[in-house]
Amino acid sequence: MRHPSTAAIRLADYRPADFAIDSVELDFALNPTKTRVSARLALRRNPAGDSSAPLVLDGDELMLLGVKLDGRTLGPGKYEATQDRLTLAEVPDAPFTLEIDTELNPSGNTQLSGLYRSGSAYCTQCEAEGFRRITYFLDRPDVLSVYTTRIEAEKSEAPILLSNGNPIEHGDVAGSNRHYALWRDPFPKPSYLFALVGGDLGVVRDEFTTMSGRVVDLAIYVEHGKESRAAYAMDALKRSMRWDEEKFGREYDLDVFNIVAVSDFNMGAMENKGLNIFNDKYVLASPDTATDGDYAGIEGVIAHEYFHNWTGNRITCRDWFQLCLKEGLTVFRDQEFSADMRSRAVERIGDVRGLRLAQFPEDAGPLAHPVRPDVYQEINNFYTATVYEKGAEIIRMLRTLIGEDDFRRGMDLYFERFDGTAATVEDFLSCFAAASGRDLTHFALWYSQAGTPVVTTSGDYDPAARTFALKLSQQTPPTPGQSDKKPVVIPLALALFGENGQKLDLVSEDATPTELARGLIELDRAERVIRFREIPSRPVVSLLRGFSAPVRLEPAPASEDLERLLACDDDPFNRWQASQSLALRAIFGRLETGALDARGLSEALRLLLAKAEDDPALVAQALSLPSDIDLAREKGNDVDPDQLFDARMALRAEIGRSLGSELDAIHARFSAAGAFTPDAASAGRRALRNVTLDVLAAGDAEKGRSLATAQFETAGNMTDKLAALATLALLGGHAREEAFARFYAQYAGDALVIDKWFSLQAMIPEQATTQRVLGLMTHREFSMSNPNRVRALIGAFANGNLTRFHALDGSGYDLLTAVVLEVDPKNPQVSARLLSALRSWRTMESRRRGLIEARLKHIVAQENLSADLRDIATRALG
């Protein structure tokens, strides 16, 4: 395992590589414990590098068998080799070839980085620094090479042999039971995009004809017997390919596109050129094993990895500080794709919910970092919500500010100028500056300044003058290493509504004609006052429409304004926001006064329910009240999860009681009819019915139990079945235990479904849950070596069960600490990510803070921690 490197890596220290590697020929002889890798590298000095520098190649836990330079074996005196470095002090000035032989043990690779085994298959994961676990290399994203890969394996063990690019040749190895395949990828790429798969896999095939008429062979490889579960992923892939042509003019460039689903994978999926490797969770779906959320996740991740072919692969990153260049942009693209495939409004609400759930807390705590960090210890810890989701919000703001047409022109220019290169954020922005004629220097601050800006608003209506003065100010709280914050450019989409709900014309001398015409105010300084004229009565302000910038708004509008917005706003996002703000007001009101006033919210929801047929998915979102995590984030300090939980439960119960008959009617009316289809409209109806069940049960436990039990028994799809089980899980008692037992009996052995069973149990907000989780850790379907299992049980407990995880006896923290320390030696990426569940620990009330601090110190005091875990624990302690 790699241990903490002492030196931090800084963006300011970037230097071009001293050598270029024009081509790479790899030869793999696959074997479970002794895989031989021969790498032949065509090297030359990089004119941009240091002309006298030695050749220093990266490695990680490598066993070197031999080195040849220009065909001649080098004696040990001619190089210096350690597990993590190969140094040649003297190399020719002219181009030369280096041949390096290494031996790997894929079966012993539990980190799931480099070449490893998932089940009986061989697969690779090279981002960010996994290639150096295969052979010594300049393992950095700005070294682009053309790869040719030969793979040899036993025919019975690995009938399927895949790598990047196009298949060139395959055949038997004479006189043996082995065979080989040869692949060539003509597009120069960095090592992190290399991939190889060997195994005995089932396959689903299809084809796609590109915009210029080329036929691309598509294949998705899965475990035998699961082929039918790959149909939706294949459909999503073809839709993604068409969408990228239509929306961005991007055509696919190889003869084949292969996807492989594996069950052991650290992340969601990986965009290796022409050979995407996926966590099977994001490929496999059937109506009775996958929920609507799973289907949406598959569609989004398939699209994301496919879109990387242009934003990530054809144009890659100069260095890992530029990670958002590919990730933020590609998340933006997959979000737009999903919005086009589904409901734009519901997609936006879901994306913002995700941002607030994961990114806002990150930005407000000790792990806060800029979207483009300027220093890191361990790059694996920077695949964060900030880089991905806030990175996507920056792209969206850019489009909002310069407009759709200039945005598209800027993207075209980006592909034109930087295809085939390793680019930077500056390169990217330069294209939009050129396309729009706008100076983006100030806008670029979004990339380097961490923290979520708070926009404070106040309005002053003058009936005599018929003016409304809107004061807007911004302030970004300090984050680690950045105490002084500057104002950023915040696009604030805005509308004013009059007494009767009519939208008012925006007339003012304090904003530009363009701002007024577009309803988009640019808050680019600390404070701005805009006096609107010709306002007949005190207006209601709809601000940050569509969530036009990743900021927090303070204060929330008054309750009566929220009720008006819920009724009249033509921005669906802000209608939803109004429902959430009303719920937050009710909950925090109860926390302050002890009394719950939910009348305004109930009445607003009653009106929405009456029109539920218009947009069931949107009504479902409004009925989904804020979670404990939402409440903890909004509270911001001195968080006591028990208090928040009580207030939230009280609100749910009250809404359930006061809207009982309406909810009942909806639950009956939206009952499933006909065969399951995963389309957004059908999913929206299921979402409404299931959130209705949840709220109904909160108001009337007996009724909820009988409805949920009936739904559990008769459900014809996993969405409805799991929703019923979730309701029963909250209600407790015999019905719950019976349902969990029956669910297990039905799905035993189906790991992805059993993960749902683990998660729901881990999230039961009852004292006995911690013991239950400890018990499930010994269940035969649980494994500490499989990231999906660990996330399903321990991740769900730590992130989705605030009252039990933060139990005052410290038992939740002890559980997490023990698991983190057990997993760390096997898989540092998973242990580090698990510990991030504590990223908001300083916002807890003091007793819990003390308990967590002691655990973090205990972790840091361990010897032999991985670099990944030490980095997170140390930064968390700050």
Q: Which residues bind ligand 0A1 (CB under 6 A)?
A: 125, 127-128, 266-271, 304-305, 327, 380, 383, 829
Which of ligand 0A1, Zn ion, none does residue 125 bind to, with CB < 5 to 8 Å depending on kind? ligand 0A1
Taking the least distance from each CB to ligand 0A1, the nearer of 380 and 836 is: 380
- CB contact at 8 A, 182 and 148: yes
- Residue 380 binds which one of ligand 0A1, Zn ion, none, with CB within 5 to 8 A depending on kind? ligand 0A1
> What CA dihedral angle connects 629, 633, 636 and 638, to 10 degrees?
0
Find the helix packing angle between 391-402 and 323-341, rounded to 10°.
Answer: 70
> 3-class DSSP state for residue 3?
coil
Query: Using alpha carbons only, what angle is made at residue 419 by residues 413 and 423, rounded to the nearest 5 degrees?
Result: 90
List Cα–Cα distances, 677 to 371, 476, 717, in angstroms.
38, 45, 10
Least gap, CB of 724 to ligand 0A1 (angstroms): 33
CB neighbourhood size of 152 (10 A): 20
Report the nearest approach of Zn ion to the CB of residue 330 (Å). Answer: 5
Number of H-type helices and E-type strands within the chain: 31, 31
Residue 382 beta carbon to ligand 0A1: minimum distance, rounded to whole angstroms: 10
Choose from Zn ion, ligand 0A1, none: what does 581 bind? Cβ within 5-8 Å by kind: none
- Beta carbons within 10 angstroms of residue 71's beta carbon: 8
264 binds, among ligand 0A1, Zn ion, none (CB under 5 to 8 A by kind): none
DSSP-derived secondary structure for 371-386: SS-SEES-GGGG--HI
User: 270 touches which of Zn ion, ligand 0A1, none (CB within 5 to 8 A by kind)?
Assistant: ligand 0A1
Instruction: Say if residue 408 is exposed, middle or buried (CB neighbours under 10 Å; 0-12, 13-18, 19+).
Output: middle
If the CB atoms of residues 127 and 336 are measured against ligand 0A1, the closer one turns out to be 127
Smallest gap from residue 139 Cβ to ligand 0A1 (A): 13
Which of 666/834 has CB closer to ligand 0A1?
834
Among residues 115, 408, 149, the alpha carbon closest in space to that of 273 is found at 149
Q: Which does 294 bind (CB under 5 to 8 A by kind): ligand 0A1, Zn ion, none?
A: none
- Output the CA angle 719-721-722, nearest 5 degrees: 70
Contacts of 702 (CB under 8 A, 6+ apart): none
Listed residue (285, 320, 275, 328) closest to 304, CA to CA: 328
Question: Pick from ligand 0A1, Zn ion, none: which does 269 bind, CB < 5 to 8 A by kind?
Answer: ligand 0A1
Q: Virtual CA dihedral for 744, 748, 750, 755, nearest 10 degrees?
A: 40
Of 684 and 828, CB closest to ligand 0A1: 828
**SS3 label, residue 203:** strand
Helix H segments across 90-138?
none
| 61 annotated active-site | no
Q: Which is nearer to Zn ion, 418 or 645 (CB)?
A: 418
- Residue closer to ligand 0A1 by CB (options 308, 804) is 308
Beta carbon of residue 252, minimum distance to Zn ion (angstroms, whole number) = 17
Tell me how crowded residue 340 is: count the other CB atoms within 10 A of its CB: 13
For the CB of residue 320, give the shortest distance to ligand 0A1 in the complex, in Å: 11
- Among the listed residues 152, 285, 173, 163, the one whose alpha carbon sits nearest the alpha carbon of residue 229: 285
60 vs 334 by CB, closer to Zn ion: 334
Q: For the residues of 525-555, what is the DSSP string, one character each? A: SSEEEEEE----SPPEEEESTT--SS-EEES
- The amino acid at residue 788 is N
Tokens of residue 154, six digits: 């036993």
> Of 19 and 307, which CB lies nearer to ligand 0A1 in the complex structure?
307
CA neighbor of 480 nearest in space, from 842, 865, 6, 14: 842
Q: Residue 756 Cβ, how far from ligand 0A1 at the closest point, in Å?
A: 22
Catalytic residue among 152, 299, 305, 336: 305
In the complex, residue closest to ligand 0A1 by CB: 267
Nearer to ligand 0A1, 327 or 571 (CB): 327
**Cα–Cα distance for residue pair 539/467, rounded to 1 Å:** 10
Q: Which is nearer to ligand 0A1, 250 or 848 (CB)?
A: 250
Which has the closest alpha carbon to 731: 766, 686, 758?
766
Q: Least distance (Å) from Zn ion to the CB of residue 285?
A: 20
Closest C-alpha to 624, from 710, 569, 692, 720: 692
State the nearest-atom distance from the C-beta of 301 to ligand 0A1, in Å: 7
**What is the C-alpha to C-alpha distance for residues 526 and 520, in angstroms, rounded to an integer?**
17
C-alpha to C-alpha distance for 303 and 293, rounded to whole angstroms: 15
- Least separation in angstroms between residue 192's CB and ligand 0A1 is 8
**Residue 690 binds which entry of Zn ion, ligand 0A1, none, with Cβ cut-offs from 5 to 8 Å by kind?**
none
Q: Which CB atom, from 128 or from 730, has the smaller least distance to ligand 0A1? A: 128
**Six-digit token string for 444:** 């670029």
Closer residue to ligand 0A1 in complex, CB, 267/541: 267
Nearest to 473 by CA among 377, 554, 355, 568: 554
DSSP state of 503: B
Residues ≥6 apart with Cβ < 8 Å to 441: none
Residues binding Zn ion (CB under 5 A): 327, 330
Q: State which H helix or E strand residue 426 sits in.
A: helix 425-436
Name residue 310's amino acid. W
Contacted by 152, from Zn ion, ligand 0A1, none: CB < 5 to 8 Å by type: none
Q: Which does 142 bind (CB under 5 to 8 A by kind): Zn ion, ligand 0A1, none?
A: none
Pairing of β 166-172 and β 178-189: antiparallel
Q: How far is the CB of 330 from ligand 0A1 (least distance, A)?
A: 7
State in angstroms the smallest separation of the CB of 264 from Zn ion: 19
Residue 383 contact partner, candidates Zn ion, ligand 0A1, none, CB within 5 to 8 A by sort of partner: ligand 0A1
Our CA dihedral for 723, 281, 834, 336, rounded to 10 degrees, sits at -90
Q: Which residues are catalytic?
A: 305
